[in-house]
């Protein structure tokens, strides 16, 4: 766990860079396969995400009329870069985070949101009406899940008294698992991640039956490939974050594997269980139920921390 690699190797291959991209593709495959099995299908072959990405990279990239060209080309790059940067602060594969500083939790969460922001901008950049509707929906959805998701991650952080992901990760392992201590926070975090990744039932921003392909309608080839990889890596990072916060921390790669895969099983099951929500239903769900649940949870955590010194029996739960 305390391996020290040279920073360049860390950035390019492991745990950043190539291995991260590869793990994103593997997790996409597992996700698609699980959903297929839940729908009683055989599902894709193991190399499917890789073939998709290579094919997209080899395709022509059409730059439609009416877009700001620079923005059109750079947005996918910014999206992927921010996601890869976020990975540096997260205990990927159960290893120590490559970099860390007090308060990196907030930075990581906002780097993860940059992806959605880029998708929104990409949609607003083109003249296509479907992209515009998709962009509006993506940003609306972002405003609804972002606060509860952040609050859900803050629950363990406040309980442990540190906003450093690495410290939370190691401290979470020594405590009662937060999924038991703060069940509402866990639910909000998992569902928030699904909203972030626009997985069903929160896929209104890219609903192909209504608005073609949402904000990314006009993207082809390279841009689409980068957005896809970005989303895959975001899936891995999100699962890692939730597993390290709520499932008792990630002490080693094996821990990482089984905890994230169980989380993936849960999200895949939710994906195949529910039908798509309308955008107003999504927003209503988050603001009426999600945020109130998480706020109550947070209140309980804060009160718990205040009265914990008074009652020695409670002090381990948070």
Among 18, 54, 292, 296, binds other proteins (CB under 8 A): 54
Judge whether 200 and 271 are in contact, CB under 8 Å: yes
x-or-dash string of contact with other proteins, 185-214, rule CB under 8 A: -----------------------xx--xx-
Among 113, 167, 217, 244, binds other proteins (CB under 8 A): 217
Report the C-alpha gap between 116 and 181 in whole angstroms. 30
Q: Is 20 exposed, middle or buried (0-12, 13-18, 19+ CB in 10 A)?
A: buried
Please report, for the chain, how many H helices and E strands are present, in that order. 14, 0
Interface stretch with other proteins, choices 37-45, 71-79, 153-161, 242-250 (CB under 8 A): 37-45
Determine if 18 is a binding residue for other proteins (CB under 8 A).
no
Among 13, 17, 26, 52, binds other proteins (CB under 8 A): 52
Residue 211 C-beta: closest distance to other proteins, Å: 8
Determine if 44 is a binding residue for other proteins (CB under 8 A).
yes
Among 17, 221, 284, 317, binds other proteins (CB under 8 A): 221
Among 29, 219, 245, 246, binds other proteins (CB under 8 A): 219
Determine if 36 is a binding residue for other proteins (CB under 8 A).
yes
- Token pair, residue 104, equals 């990196």
- The contacts of residue 110 (CB under 8 Å, 6+ apart) are none
Residue 236 C-beta: closest distance to other proteins, Å: 21
**Positions in 56-75 near other proteins (CB under 8 A):** 58-62
Residue 136 C-beta: closest distance to other proteins, Å: 17
For CA atoms 168, 169, 172, 177, give the dihedral sign: positive
When the beta carbons of 222 and 305 are compared against other proteins, the nearer one is 222
Among 39, 174, 281, 316, binds other proteins (CB under 8 A): 39
Determine if 132 is a binding residue for other proteins (CB under 8 A).
no
Report the C-alpha gap between 155 and 158 in whole angstroms. 5
Vertex 228: Cα angle to 283 and 212 (nearest 5): 60
Residue 37 C-beta: closest distance to other proteins, Å: 11
- Token pair, residue 202, equals 């929160």
Determine if 275 is a binding residue for other proteins (CB under 8 A).
no
Buried b (16+ CB within 10 A) or exposed e, 92-107: bbbbbbbebeeebbee
When the beta carbons of 93 and 130 are compared against other proteins, the nearer one is 130
Torsion of CA 214, 207, 141, 121, to 10 degrees: 0
- Token pair, residue 316, equals 């381990």
Cα 3 from chain centroid? 26
**Positions in 236-265 near other proteins (CB under 8 A):** none
For CA atoms 90, 36, 219, 191, give the dihedral sign: negative
The residue ranges that bind other proteins (CB under 8 A) are 32, 36, 39-45, 47-48, 50-52, 54-55, 58-62, 130, 208-209, 212-213, 216-221, 224
């Amino acid at each position: 766990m305390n391996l020290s690699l040279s920073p360049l190797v860390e950035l390019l291959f492991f745990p950043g860079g190539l291995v991260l991209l590869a793990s994103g593709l593997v997790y996409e495959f597992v996700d698609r396969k699980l959903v297929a099995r839940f729908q009683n299908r055989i599902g894709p072959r193991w190399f499917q995400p890789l073939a998709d990405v290579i094919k997209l990279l080899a395709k022509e990239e059409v730059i439609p009329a009416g877009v700001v060209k620079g923005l059109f080309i750079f947005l996918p790059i910014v999206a992927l870069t921010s996601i890869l940067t976020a990975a540096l602060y997260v205990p990927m594969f159960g290893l120590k985070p490559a970099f860390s500083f007090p308060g990196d939790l907030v930075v990581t969460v906002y780097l993860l949101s940059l992806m959605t922001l880029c998708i929104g901008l990409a949609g607003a950049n083109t003249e296509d009406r479907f992209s515009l509707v998709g962009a509006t929906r993506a940003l609306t959805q972002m405003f609804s899940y972002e606060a509860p998701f952040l609050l859900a991650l803050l629950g363990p952080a406040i309980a442990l008294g540190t906003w450093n992901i690495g410290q939370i990760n190691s401290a979470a392992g020594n405590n009662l698992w937060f999924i038991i201590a703060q069940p509402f926070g866990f639910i909000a975090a998992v569902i928030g991640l699904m909203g972030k990744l626009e997985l069903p039932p929160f896929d209104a921003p890219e609903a192909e039956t209504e608005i073609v392909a949402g904000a990314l309608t006009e993207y082809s080839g390279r841009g689409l490939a980068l957005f896809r990889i970005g989303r895959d890596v975001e899936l891995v990072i999100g699962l890692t974050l939730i597993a390290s916060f709520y499932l008792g921390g990630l002490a080693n790669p094996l821990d990482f594997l089984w905890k994230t895969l169980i989380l993936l099983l849960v999200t895949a099951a939710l994906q195949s269980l529910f039908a798509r929500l309308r955008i107003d239903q999504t927003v209503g769900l988050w603001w009426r139920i999600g945020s109130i649940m998480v706020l109550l949870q947070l209140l309980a955590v804060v009160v718990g921390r205040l009265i914990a010194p008074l009652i020695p029996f409670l002090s381990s739960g948070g």
